Structure 1
Amino acid sequence: MITLLRSLLCMALMAAAGLAQAFGLDDLSKQLGEPAVIKGPFIQEKHLRALPQPLVSKGEFVLARDHGLLWLLQTPLKQDYRLDAQGIARRDPNGWQTLPGNSAGSQQNRLFFAVLQGDSSGLQRDFDLSLQGDAQHWQLRLTPRSLLLKQVFKQIDIDGGRFVERIQLLETQGDSTVLRMPSSSSAGSLNDTERRDFAQ
């Protein structure tokens, strides 16, 4: 009877240990990097100290693990962006045009890309990362390491579950940006239009 109780106790402790196992950065990277394609709507709010109301923009995004990120702005104006290994491109009537590497917002766009893709190793080069929660509901805080980033960002807070759901960038000057992706979904592959956009 004592042997049975010990066995049951050991099994219970093993199960509890499994449940208590910490959800770490490697787990988060694997979870976010697993889907081949993630897409959905986004709502971005830019809070400026000089304005009483935030500037709101909306659109759709497509994140393809093997290709890059399509950022399709729909309001207040229509403008398409593509972020991939070659850099950032903007679509105009003549097709995709690569933007200069030091263009305004390029660093922020690359950061979004790394976050959405779950590239924790890339983020760790520039930030101290603090993760809380579990696979269903987690919070990740990024605190800048480099002097250059410290001049721009105070901290970046990211919340999510299966996918990234909310990103808040707090800037040192008091402005902030909140990006919400309320209903993202995964897909096994790109559709024909998305494939053409990445191929051009």
Structure 2
Amino acid sequence: MDEFIQGRFQQEKHLKGFSFPIQTEGTFAYLKEKGVLWQAQKPFVRSVTYLADQTLTWKPDGTLESAQKPDMMERRISEIIMALLSGNRSILEKQFTIEETKQENQWQLILQPSQIVVKKVLSEIHLSGRDFVQHIKVVSASGDQTIIKFDQLTHHDNLPGDYCAYFSSSPALPCAMSSH
């Protein structure tokens, strides 16, 4: 059985030297232990799937534009994103010191990098949510901030067929994802 979560996101990037944030919104889909599909719809259309072994970029019509092998830093960032979305503390604890607070059915985590290679890129990450991550704030080592809010979350036990190709390691081949 595959765990599949989808919803909407709103993202703001606050970059040093800029007066206004860069705002993006769209949809996302997360397939446990496989990857995350990020589909920006505003201010422009762009779809990217982040898998452990590659990054897939999609054309607006849903056909594959490019498949790239991530470099070491991209793999590390992808691993962190997957761990954040899945709540995989064991992976996060290898890279960060974690401070956790809970109030009723709400939780919050503050992650501070414990490894030098991560400290070069990130200052800290704040996460909060209930059943799933609803808010992420990433502060880069340079002071830039990215804030992502998730809503309209739905959970499925299996991957809907129309998402299959987006999570295939060989998207040019017919989609044949296995169910666990």
Q: Shorter-normalised TM-score: what interval? A: 0.7 to 0.9
Which structure's CA Rg is the greater one? 1
Once the two structures are superposed, the pairs formed by residues 167-182 of structure 1 within 5 Å of their partners are 167-182=136-151
Contact 2:48 2:58 in 1 (8 A): yes
Once the two structures are superposed, the pairs formed by residues 156-171 of structure 1 within 5 Å of their partners are 156-171=125-140
Q: Distance in 1 between matches of 2:103 and 2:55?
A: 33
Distance apart, 1:186 and its partner CA: 0.8
> Which of 86, 90, 103 is the equivalent residue of 2:53?
86
Partner in structure 2 of residue 197 of structure 1? 166
Deviations 1:143-173 (A, max 9, x none): 1011122122111110010110000011222
Mark the CA change 1:182 to 1:124 in structure 2 (over 3 Å): closer, same or farther. Answer: same
Distance apart, 1:78 and its partner CA: 1.1
Mark the CA change 1:67 to 1:147 in structure 2 (over 3 Å): closer, same or farther. Answer: closer
Q: RMSD in angstroms over aligned alpha carbons?
A: 2.4
Once the two structures are superposed, the pairs formed by residues 17-32 of structure 1 within 5 Å of their partners are none
Deviations 1:80-131 (A, max 9, x none): 1112232322124761522242388664443222100111111111111111
Name whichever structure is richer in strand by fraction.
2
Q: Distance in 2 between matches of 1:125 and 1:179?
A: 23
Contact 1:35 1:186 in 2 (8 A): no
Scaled by the length of structure 2, what TM-score is found? 0.82
Once the two structures are superposed, the pairs formed by residues 25-104 of structure 1 within 5 Å of their partners are 36-92=3-59, 95=64, 97-102=66-71
Q: Does 1:116 align with 2:85?
A: yes
Contact 1:135 1:161 in 2 (8 A): no
Name whichever structure is richer in helix by fraction.
1
Contact 1:127 1:143 in 2 (8 A): yes
Unaligned residue ranges in structure 1 (runs of 5+)? 1-33
Identity of aligned residues (%): 24
Unaligned residue ranges in structure 2 (runs of 5+)? 172-180
Distance apart, 1:174 and its partner CA: 1.7
| Residues matched between the structures, number | 167
